A = this chain, B = another copy of it.
Amino acid sequence: MGDTSHETGTDPIVVALGGNTLLGAHGLGSIDEQLEIIARTARQIAGAIQAGYDVVLTHGNGPQVGNLLLQQEGVSETPELPLDVLVAETQAQIGYLLQQALDNELTDSPDFITVVTQVIVDPDDPAFQHPTKPIGPFYTESEAAEKSFETRRVATGDRPYRRVVPSPEPVELVEGEELTRLVERGNLVITAGGGGIPVVRDGALRGVEAVVDKDKASQLLASELDADTLVILTDVEFAYVNYDTPDQRPLCRLSPEELRAHLDAGEFGEGSMQPKVEACVRFIEQSGERAVITSPEYLMDALAGETGTQVRA
C-alpha cells in the first residue's frame, strides 16, 4: 500500500488503546511481555489500515506514568520532574513501541509518527481538589495504607488499591490544527497519548500536575479531527451492564440516549467502563457518526458492524 492510498480524503477513524492492549499484568510485565502484547495489538490495527481505514491512534498511560513516578521518587540522586513531564515521557515510551511494531507490520506503507501532544485544561477544574484518576501499580489494603500518596479502592480482588491523581476535563488540543493537517495529508499518526500532557493557558502555556482521562481526550481528538468513527479498544468484546454479576448483559446496538440512560443509572465501573461509555456518548452528541467499544481481536468485525458495543445517532 503506497503513500497515496492514504490521501483519499475519507474521514479518519480514531482508535484508542487501553492499558491492557499494551502491557502485561497490571503494568508490571517485563519488556518482552510488553513487546509481545503490543505486536499482537499492532497486527489488528495494521489489518484495519490494510483494509483501507485511515487510522489515527491514541493510547492510555496509567500504569506507565505511575511507574515513572515511583522510580523518580525512589532515587534521591536525580531531580524530580512534575507529572506533566512524566506524561510526556510516556507518550514517547508507548508511542515508540507502537510505531515500531506498526512499521514492522506495514512494510509498504509510510511510517507511523508519534507526535507529543499537549491538552489544555481549566485551572479551576474541581478535579484538582478531588484526585480520582488511578495510576501506577495495584496495592493490597495494607500496602495502600502505608503509602505517602493518596490511594483509592478502584478494583476488586487482592490488590484493589491504586494511587490517584487529579483528572481534569480536556478542553482543547494545543497541537489540534497541526494534527488535523497531518492527518489530512495522509500521515499515520499516534497522538494525545495518556490523555495528552495537561497544561493550562494563563497568558502562556504551563504544565500542571494531573493525568487527563485518555477516553475523554480520545473523544476530543476524534471530534477535532472530524473522525466518523471512534473505536475504544479494551479487554472485553462489549461494554456490559451489571458487569461481573449474575445479571451481566452485553450492550450491542444502541443510541446515545439509551447509553446515556445506562450511564445515569450508574451501571458501569467508575474507573474502567464508565469513562469509555461517556466518551462514546459525547462523541455522537458532538456530531460523530459511530462509536464502538470492543477488544483488539474483534476490531475488524466491529468495524464491519458485526460485534462490539455499537453506538449510533
Contacts and interface: CB of A to CB of B under 8 A. Distances in A.
Given A111-B174, A185-B185, A28 B79 contact: yes
Interface stretch (A52-60, A67-75, A287-295): A67-75
B177 A80 contact: no
A31 B79 contact: yes
A224 interface: no
A152 B66 CA distance: 33
A10 interface: no
Given A96-B116, A205-B103, A71 B79 contact: no
Interface in A177-235: 177-178, 181-182, 185, 187, 197, 199, 204-207
Contacts of A205: 100, 103-104
Interface in A82-126: 82, 84-85, 88-93, 95-97, 99-100, 103-104, 110-111, 113-116, 118
Contacts of A103: 174, 205
14 contacts: A27-B79, A29-B79, A31-B81, A74-B74, A84-B96, A85-B93, A88-B93, A89-B89, A89-B92, A99-B118, A100-B118, A103-B205, A114-B116, A178-B187
A282 to B, nearest CB: 25
**Copies, count:** 2
Interface residues of A, number: 56
A159 to B, nearest CB: 13
Contacts of A71: 68, 71-72, 74-75, 78
Contacts of A30: 79
A175 interface: yes
A168 interface: no
Nearest to A88: B96
Nearest first, the 6 A-B pairs at minimum CB distance are A92-B92, A88-B96, A74-B75, A114-B116, A71-B71, A89-B89
Interface of A: 27-31, 34, 67-68, 70-72, 74-75, 77-82, 84-85, 88-93, 95-97, 99-100, 103-104, 110-111, 113-116, 118, 137, 174-175, 177-178, 181-182, 185, 187, 197, 199, 204-207
A205 B112 CA distance: 13
Indicate the member of A68, A88, A103 with the most B CB atoms within 10 Å: A88
A175 B110 CA distance: 9
Given A74-B74, A79-B31, A197 B96 contact: yes
A88 B80 contact: no
A192 B151 CA distance: 38
Given A95-B116, A96-B207, A111-B174, 14 more contacts: A70-B77, A71-B71, A71-B72, A71-B74, A74-B75, A85-B96, A88-B92, A91-B92, A92-B93, A92-B95, A96-B116, A100-B205, A110-B178, A113-B182
A178 B82 CA distance: 31
